[in-house]
Amino acid sequence: MTVPSSHLLLLAALLFSIGVAGFFLRRNVIVVLLCIELMLNAANLTFLAASRMHSLDVPGGRIDLQGPIFAIFVIVVAAVEAAVGLALVIALYRRKQTVSLDDVVELKD
Amino acid sequence: MSVANALFYLLAALTVVAAAGVVLLRNPIANVLSLLFAFFCLATIYLLAGFQFLAATQILVYAGAIMVLFLFVIMLLNLAPGPKAPKLEEVGLPMFLRRKSGVTVVIAAALLLLGASAILGTQSTGVEAAGAMPREGIDAIRPTPGTNDGLAAEMFGRYLLPFEAVSMLLLATAVAVVVLAKRNRPGDRSA
C-alpha cells in the first residue's frame, strides 16, 4: 500500500468527527458508548499513521514500534471502558428501566 | 494505482459509511452491527498498512469481545428502536440549527475541517520531509519481517511496567464490573 500517511490521518479525522457528532446527538447510552469506541478507533488509526510516517522502508531500516504499542494499550483501555460502561448501563436500567440520557437528570435538577 | 491502494480507498469509504450508520440508524442492534463492519474494514486497513498483529487484535478484541458484549447487553435489556428524530424538512433550517443536534453537526464539521487543514498543512514535515523514503511500499503481500518480534520485544522490554499496570487495570475492572452489575438482594447491607 503506497497511500500517503496523510490520507490515513484524514480517515481518522473523519471517523473521530462522526464519533463526536454521535456522542452529542444520540440519547441512547449504549449508542453513546459505541461512539466512544469509534473515537478510540480513530485515535488508534492516528497512532498507526504516525508510526508509518516515522518508519523507513529500507532493508534494515528503523521501524517505529511506539505507534502499534500505544494502539494495543488503547485497545485494552477501550475494552475496560466498554465493560465498565455496560455494567453502569445495566445498573441504570435496573434502577430506572431506561437507557435514555434524557431520563437521567438527577445532577441537572 | 495499485490494487492495494484502490482497496484502501474502498475500505476507507466503507468505514466512513458504516460509522455514519452507527450514528444515524435508530435500532441499537443495527448500530452495533454497523460498528462491527467498520471494525472489520479498519482491521483490513491495518493489514494493508503492514500492522498484522494490530489487525488480529482488532478482530479478536474489538469484533470478538467488545461488540459481543454490547450485543449481549442490548439483547439482555430487550431494547426497542428509539423514537424518530424530527427531520430537517419538518422543522425548517433555523429551527433545526436552534436545536442542539444542529449545533452538534456544525461543531463536528468544524472539528473535521480544523483537523483536515492541520493534517494537509503539516504533511511535509518529519521523516517524510527529511528526504528519507517513508515505509510506504509495504502491503499485505510483502509483510514487514520482524514487526511482530519487535513488538513483543518492546512490549516485554521497555513497556513492561505499563504492561503490568494494564493487567492490574483489567483485574480492577473485572472486580468493579461485578460490583456494579451485581443484583442487590433485599436485606443485603452492601448498598
- CATH code, domain with A93: 1.10.287.3510
Shortest Cα distance from B189 to chain A (angstroms)? 17
Chain B touched by A60 (CB under 8 Å): no
Shortest CA distance from B162: residue in chain A: A73
Residue A9 lies in a domain: yes
Picking from B154, B39, B46, B152, the residue whose alpha carbon sits closest to that of residue A79 is: B39
Decide if B58 touches A, using CB distance below 8 A: yes
Do residue B176 and residue A87 have CB atoms under 8 angstroms apart? yes
Higher pLDDT, B84 or B62: B62
Q: Please judge whether A90 and B69 are an interchain contact, meaning their C-beta atoms are less than 8 angstroms apart.
A: no
Q: How many domains does chain A have?
A: 1
Contact A15, A52 (CB under 8 A): no
By the 8 A CB rule, do A12 and A46 touch?
Answer: yes
Residues of the domain holding A81: 5-103
Q: Is A98 on the interface with B (CB under 8 A)?
A: no
Model ipTM over 0.85: yes
Asked if A38 and B38 come within 8 Å (Cβ–Cβ), the reply is yes
CA distance A109 to chain B (A): 19
Residue showing cell 466498554: A82
Return the C-alpha cell found at B69.
458484549
Q: Give the best residue of B2, B51, B141, B154 to mutate against chain A (max A CB count within 10 A).
A: B51
**Domains detected in chain B:** 3-84+124-181 (1.20.120.1200)
Q: What is the pLDDT of residue A61?
A: 65
- The answer to the question of residue A109 being in a domain is no
Residue A72 has pLDDT above 50, yes or no: yes
Q: Which three three-digit cell numbers place residue A86?
A: 455496560
Instruction: Flag whether A108 is in a domain.
Output: no
The residues, ordered by sequence, that sit 6+ positions from B48 with a Cβ below 8 Å of its Cβ are A1, B4, B7, B8, B11, B139, B140
What pLDDT, in 10s, does the model give residues A6-35?
899 999 999 999 999 999 988 889 999 999
- What secondary structure, in 3-state letters, does A32-95 show? HHHHHHHHHHHHHHHHHHHHHHCCECCCCCCCCCHHHHHHHHHHHHHHHHHHHHHHHHHHHHHH
Q: Alpha-carbon distance B4 to A102, whole Å? A: 45
CB contact under 8 A, A48 and B46: yes
Check CB contact under 8 Å for B112 and A13: yes
Q: Which residue of A has its CA nearest to B163?
A: A73
Q: What percent of chain A has pLDDT over 70?
A: 94
Is residue A20 in a domain? yes
The pLDDT assigned to A71 comes to 93
On whether the CB atoms of residues A75 and B42 are closer than 8 A, the answer is no
Contact B15 A15 (CB under 8 A): yes
Q: How far apart (Å, rounded) are the C-alpha atoms in residues A95 and A92?
A: 5
CB pair distance less than 8 Å for B133 and A57: yes
Summarised one tens digit per residue, pLDDT across range B16-45 is 999 999 999 888 889 999 999 999 999 999
At residue B181, the pLDDT reads 85
Q: Is the pLDDT of residue B90 over 70?
A: no
What are B106-152's pLDDT values in tens digits? Answer: 777 877 887 777 767 655 444 444 444 444 444 444 445 557 778 88
The answer to whether B35 contacts A34, with C-beta atoms less than 8 Å apart, is yes
Closest-CA residue of chain B to A16:
B112
Evaluate if residue B63 carries a pLDDT over 70. yes
Comparing A17 with A57, the larger pLDDT belongs to A17
**Contacts A18 to B, Cβ<8 Å:** 16, 19-20, 22-23, 108
Note whether B33 contacts A: Cβ–Cβ < 8 A: no
